[in-house]
Structure 1
Amino acid sequence: MTTARQIVETAIRTGQTVTTAESCTGGKVAAAITDIAGSSAAFERGFVTYSNRAKTEMLGVSPATLEAHGAVSEAVVAEMAVGARASAGADVAVAISGIAGPGGSEFKPEGRVCYGLATAKGVTTQTIEHGALGRAEVRKAATEHALHLLISGLGGTELF
């Protein structure tokens, strides 16, 4: 069984809903979930917020947070996850922002992805250095990790 199918089945079984706030994955997490028949019972909407403006307008990310920490930061994904959860009226939200590549910098290298998970219990964040795998592989790794975070949020098992 795929992780996306587990998310949908777990959410339906427990009466919960999920949402996504994606930057570097560009909607791949939402697509994986909505590929599953019956997912509309667990997933109503997701947010692709590729630009800082979108993060601010759609999710309520503070411009001050973006200025102080940059888009690829745990502070920003925390606000993205909280904003997505509130806006979608969902029980669990995952947020992703990272450097898919090519490129990056000394301070924010290719493959660095920040994750946020918001539930009724609060928000947790994490940064993973996936490495310079190339754009497609970083996005694939980020999508998979975000799906695992969602299932943990639904089941109460913390991956952080």
Structure 2
Amino acid sequence: MIEKKEEWELVADPRINERFKAFRLEYISKQGFKAAELLGISATHLSSIETKKRQVSSKIITTLMEKYKLNPEWLLSGYGYQRREEEYMPNTLRKRGENLVETIDRLVATYRTYEWNQTRLDTKVTKLTKRVEELERQLAEIRTPDVHQE
């Protein structure tokens, strides 16, 4: 099963490293250097874990449990949920939600601008229509001879 090695390193199933990477990508950061910084380790250390050259230490597991609600049972065995509290949204979904809100805000602003411009255009079209009608009336008066003058 799991043996404790010196310096808090666990010797275990290499699938732990795969699950660690999956968890990191889903909940911490897709960028390795940023994830390493958030975990308090070097990018090289992170890379060594994800390429199965090093095992995930208990210190890193503890950090994942405290900061990111990692379910240690899932990490070590693959059973259960990735997080202890599933009400926490994964970062990717949270970001998609934020992006969706930003997109909706932009669409609303664009619509309001369109609506404002449409109102201005309608007003101008109405004024131009009245002006065209007035000019047509004047043109009709010029073309129609006055019968009473002759």
- TM-score between both structures, scaled by the size of structure 1: 0.25
Larger fraction in helix: 2
